[in-house]
Amino acid sequence: MKVLVLTTDWPTKDRPNDVPFLVQYMAALRHQGMEVEIFHFNGRANPVNYFRAWFRVRKEPCWKNANILHAHWGQSAFLALFSRKPLVITFHGSDLQGIVSESGRYSLKGRLLVAINKLLARKADRCVVVSRRLAELLPPSCSPIEIIPMGIDLHLFQPMPKADARRILGLDQNFRYILFVSDPNRAEKRFELAQQAVSFADLKNVELLTVSDQPHDRIPLFLNAGDLLLLTSSHEGSPVIIKEALACNLPVVSVDVGDVREKLDNIPGCIICDDDSVEAISKAIKKALSYPFSIDGRESVRDLSWDLIAKRTISLYQDCLEEKQ
């Protein structure tokens, strides 16, 4: 089976650490015997770029050879319009939830993006979402919907001694570190809210440590060196960092977004905030840091190995191809 992946996000020379989960996804599919080609283009919210990419991809050998098209992020599916090839679209979050502007509000551009993506969803043979909440945002008339979250590398993300991780990273052994693992400049991640909550908690020898633009293979070091992962986003699809933290048995405090509640509800030591106020997040931080035991998060994410996610995806591909015959 030959799969052509259409995506607006992929690592580049200037941004080598982008979308590591998608890179791992493709590697897992190849490991299962799939022939996978990537067509990456820069949409940049400019219709002209999409039309140019539409014409350009059709000149590539991978277009002619592909048995199935798989668009990651709804807008990437524009390139598949007027094709008879089976189309799968995976929606990751903002493509169905919108774009948060610097003011903290959802932008007009984001609302337009959502409307276009809902139209494109109707053209797909299968729509894939990474969480149940995203499935609820798709129109009822669109194709069958599958929930397939992004996986994690359970070999890379596993527990290690905290002291060793801190020594490698050069962190103070006597501090407690609350990790914010995201680009603080992305408005929807609400870094300022995280700062305010940690400051309001007023805890001694506690530091909010921002982890951004790091090679993916260094992230497990930070997760093992930290005392707590904090997520304050205005929205998420299915935040991979939550699962990676659980795989390292790192406690998590998060607002109730994406599939976070499904992952954290039954893990003592992890807390979902009552709301997204500074006071509620601060209270949750204090409670989590005072939890006297190690958490057992790893068991809750064993079903998210990339091998299992790849097998589920291949089964979906096969269903699409059979329906086209």
Residue 306 has pLDDT above 90, yes or no: yes
What is the per-residue pLDDT for 141?
83
pLDDT digits (tens, 9 = 90+) for 240-284: 999 999 999 999 999 999 999 999 998 999 999 999 999 999 999
Average pLDDT of the chain is 96
The tokens for 283 are 């209270």
What is the per-residue pLDDT for 204?
95
Listed range (108-122, 135-149, 203-217, 280-294) with the worst mean pLDDT: 135-149
61, 123, 173 from 24: Cα distances, Å: 24, 27, 32
Single pTM value for the model: 0.93
pLDDT digits (tens, 9 = 90+) for 274-292: 999 999 999 999 999 999 9
38-55: buried (b, 16+ CB within 10 Å) or exposed (e) per residue?
Answer: ebbbebeeeeeebeebbe
Listed range (13-22, 99-108, 153-162, 205-214) with the worst mean pLDDT: 99-108
The tokens for 303 are 């079903």
Strands 252-254, 271-272: pairing kind? parallel
User: Which residues does 268 contact at the CB level (< 8 Å), separation at least 6?
Assistant: 291, 293, 295
Average pLDDT value for residue range 294-300:
95
